[in-house]
Amino acid sequence: MEKSEIQQLERDVEELLRICRRSREENILLRSQQSAWLVERTQLIEKTDLARNRIEKMMTRLKEMDDEL
């Protein structure tokens, strides 16, 4: 193998290592974002359920009030 071929191979390996590091960092960031979104999703589901329950109770009360009239 010629010196220039070895040097090119070294450059290629270095580039692959950079790409691998960048991909790993991006993967960590994406997993972190996913985790945050899952927490937010859970909170939104809880808020939605709470709002739904409150609305259902209000509707029941309104119906009872209407029936009393």
pTM of the model: 0.67
Integer Cα distance of 59 and 64 in angstroms: 9
CA distance to 19, 23, 28, 53, per residue, from 33 (Å): 21, 15, 9, 30
Q: Looking at 6-10, 12-16, 33-37, 63-67, which range is the least confident one?
A: 63-67
pLDDT at 67: 87
> 2's torsion region: left (phi>0), alpha (psi -120 to 50) or beta?
beta
pLDDT at 69: 76
Q: How many CB atoms sit inside 10 A of residue 8's CB?
A: 11
Integer Cα distance of 45 and 32 in angstroms: 20
